[in-house]
Structure 1
């Protein structure tokens, strides 16, 4: 009897431990979902009601291709489509910029009501002039921004972009930059509306942009 009682106690303890583990796992999942929603906000139709202000976007101070200092206030009054990347990017950035360019062409005159912006994550190599020339090779309407490393880091931070320099000891001058690759749609007041993956097709992007123009 004593043995059976001990086994019953151990079984009860195991069940309680398992239940506690399941509850903790469920709680972790809920917390993760809340954090993701806070980071990326509305990801569906931009006309749908939002549950709160997304923590994406904010003040920045950078330099354009002409060498002029610009801030987010210089672009107020028009929606912005903001894309972070770098000119030596082998595939993701050119692909994303090509899609943006194709969407702008589809929008035609409506595109004039939008400011597409490319912000470098590699200010060490991408001077304002280099960045500006790079984006103009994709579409004349795209604005290229760079600046001192601290200012670029500030823009990266407010848009919650991941960017990390990856060096190769054998070729230190030919480093890469790992970075997230979302297109951020901001309203005319600089508030976050939604984001798109860099793989979004031009037709979809043009359709969604037209809704806010």
Structure 2
């Protein structure tokens, strides 16, 4: 009988701890307007992504991060000489923006190069225009591009040891959702589908 009482007390205590933990998590998430939309869990949270910057837009103008992120944005890091991944991802991101436009929502797309040596503003303009008239291309100095990539934890490496002209660049392929003011709220892997991305973006826009 004593053992039964101990078991019941232990079970009740465990339930209490679980209930308390659930309440604590609910209270913690209650202050987050995007809690129901976030699909990504990363160390440090999404607030750890991003940085202020000044880069060169594909029309040759110098722009700040505040000027770029003046509306909801899909942000992607790639390069124009990329043979396969970057064109596919850029086309998908442009499709997501088109879906949102059909739904009456505004979503811009931004392409930041990881290959500033070859990706001049003119090269970026020709490249982004293949996917959307509204896609923004950004480049800068080697140091500026390195700082921006570091801000979004984006790994990249040019394989140019043997060829300084036709080299490839290793890089990550996440697409980030950045809200006005430069607040990164989520990211999408390269296998994310346009419709699913649009639904997720819509959730964030509705919660804003």
- 1:180 and 2:183 correspond: no
In structure 2, the residue matched to 1:193 is 185
Which of 195, 204, 207 pairs up with 1:212?
Answer: 204
TM-score (norm 2): 0.74
Question: Measured at CA, do residues 93 and 200 of structure 1 come closer, stay the same or move farther in structure 2, by a change above 3 Å?
Answer: same
In structure 2, the residue matched to 1:105 is 98
In structure 2, the residue matched to 1:95 is 88
Q: Which runs of 4+ in 1 moved over 3 A?
A: 50-53, 109-112
User: Please, what is the CA RMSD of the aligned residues?
Assistant: 2.7
Q: How many residues align?
A: 171
Cα distance in structure 2, aligned partners of 1:111 and 1:127? 33
- Give the CA deviation at 1:114: 2.2
Which of 133, 152, 156 pairs up with 2:126?
Answer: 133
Cα distance in structure 1, aligned partners of 2:70 and 2:157? 32
- Give the CA deviation at 1:111: 6.9
TM-score (norm 1): 0.72
Question: Measured at CA, do residues 89 and 43 of structure 1 come closer, stay the same or move farther in structure 2, by a change above 3 Å?
Answer: farther
Superposed, which structure 2 residues align to 1:15-164 within 5 Å? 45-46=37-38, 54-108=47-101, 113-164=106-157
List alignment gaps of at least 5 residues for structure 2: 1-33
Cα distance in structure 2, aligned partners of 1:47 and 1:120? 26
Q: Report the 3-state secondary structure (helix = DSSP H, G, I; strand = E; otherwise coil) of the residue aligned with 2:123.
A: helix
Q: Which has the larger radius of gyration?
A: 1
Contact 1:78 1:113 in 2 (8 A): yes
Give CA-to-partner distance per residue, 1:89-135, whole Å, 9 cap, x none: 01110110111121122222557622211000000000012112201
Q: Report the 3-state secondary structure (helix = DSSP H, G, I; strand = E; otherwise coil) of the residue aligned with 2:48.
A: coil
